[in-house]
A and B are shown apart, each in its own frame.
Chain A
Amino acid sequence: MTEILSVTNVGKSYGTVLAIRGISAEVIAGEVLCILGDNGAGKSTLIKILSGVHAPSEGTMKVNGVETILSSPRDALDAGIATVYQDLAVVPLMPVWRNFFLGSELRKGFGIFKRLDTTAMRTIAKQQLAEMGISLRDVEQPIGTLSGGERQAVAIARAVYFGAKAIILDEPTSALGVKQASVVLKYIAKARDSGLGVVFITHNPNHAYPVGDKFLLLKLGASIGYFDKSELTIEKMTKLMAGADEMSTLATELERKPGSRPSRKSEKE
Chain B
Amino acid sequence: MTTVSTQKDDRQIMSGRFARILRRPEVGAAVAALLIFTYFSSTTTAFLSTAGVSTWLYSSSLFGVLAVAGALLMIGGEFDLSVGAMTGTTGLIVGIMTTEYGTNIWLSIILALIFALSIGAANAYISMKTGVPSFIVTLAALFILQGANLAITKLLTGTVSIQGMSDVTGYDSAKAIFGSTLNFGGMDIKISIVWWLAVTVVASWVLLRTRTGNWIFGVGGAFTSARQVGIPVVKVRMGLFMATSAAGWLVGMLQLFGVSTVQATTGLGQEFSYVICAVVGGCLLTGGYGSAIGAAVGALIYGMTLQGIVFAQWDNNWLKLFLGVLLLLAVLVNLYVRRRAGDRS
Contact = CB atoms under 8 A, between A and B. Distances in A.
Interface of A: 73-74, 77, 85, 87-94, 98, 101-105, 107, 114-116, 118, 133-135, 137-138, 140-145, 147, 149-150, 179-180, 183, 186
A93 B4 contact: no
B342 interface: yes
A88 B225 CA distance: 7
Interface range on chain B (Cβ under 8 Å from partner) = 35 or more
A87 B225 contact: yes
Contact of A135 (B9, B213, B341): B9
A74 B229 CA distance: 9
A135 to B, nearest CB: 6
A73 B289 CA distance: 28
B343 interface: yes
Contact of A138 (B12, B217, B343): B12
B228 interface: yes
B218 A103 contact: yes
Given A91-B288, A103-B218, A135-B9, A183 B229 contact: no
Contact of B342 (A102, A107, A118, A144): A144
A103 B226 contact: yes
Contacts, number: 111
Nearest to B217: A94
Interface in B193-224: 205, 209-211, 213-215, 217-218, 221-222, 224
Contacts of B225: 87-91, 102
Contact of B231 (A85, A103, A150): A103
Of listed A92, A116, A144, residue having the most chain B CB within 10 A: A92
B223 to A, nearest CB: 9
Given A103-B229, A114-B210, A145-B342, A137 B11 contact: yes
Nearest to B344: A144
Interface string B309-339: 0000000000000000000000000000010
B345 interface: yes
A116 B210 contact: yes
Contact of B210 (A115, A145, A150): A115
Given A89-B228, A134-B4, A145 B209 contact: no
Given A93-B288, A107-B211, A145-B344, A179 B2 contact: yes
Contact of B218 (A91, A107, A118, A138): A91
Given A74-B230, A137-B9, 8 more contacts: A73-B230, A87-B222, A92-B342, A93-B338, A98-B214, A134-B3, A145-B341, A180-B2
A168 to B, nearest CB: 13
A116 B209 contact: yes
B144 to A, nearest CB: 34
B87 to A, nearest CB: 27
Nearest to B16: A138
A102 B345 contact: no
A91 B4 contact: no
B342 A147 contact: no
Nearest to B220: A91
A133 B4 contact: yes
Contacts of B5: 135
Nearest to A85: B228
B6 A135 contact: yes
Contacts of B341: 93, 142, 145
B4 A135 contact: yes
10 contacts: A92-B222, A92-B288, A94-B288, A103-B218, A103-B226, A103-B230, A116-B211, A134-B4, A144-B342, A150-B3
Given A92-B344, A93-B289, A138-B12, A183 B3 contact: yes
B132 interface: no
B129 interface: no
B20 interface: yes
Contacts of B155: none
Nearest to A138: B12
Nearest to A132: B4
B229 A102 contact: yes
A87 B224 contact: yes
Contact of B211 (A105, A140, A142): A105
A93 B209 contact: no
Contacts of A93: 217, 221, 284, 288-289, 338, 341-343
A102 B4 contact: no
B1 interface: yes
B288 A183 contact: no
A71 to B, nearest CB: 15
A16 to B, nearest CB: 27
Nearest to B8: A135
A183 B2 contact: yes
Contacts of A137: 9, 11-12
Contacts of A91: 217-218, 221-222, 225-226, 288
Contact of B214 (A73, A74, A116): A116
A73 B210 CA distance: 25
A104 to B, nearest CB: 7
Contacts of B11: 137
Q: List the 10 closest A-B pairs by CB distance, nearest first.
A: A103-B229, A142-B342, A91-B221, A144-B342, A89-B225, A89-B228, A91-B222, A103-B230, A105-B211, A137-B12
Nearest to B338: A93
A5 B110 CA distance: 55
A223 B5 CA distance: 40
A92 B345 contact: yes
A92 B4 contact: no
Contacts of B345: 92, 144
Contacts of B224: 87, 89
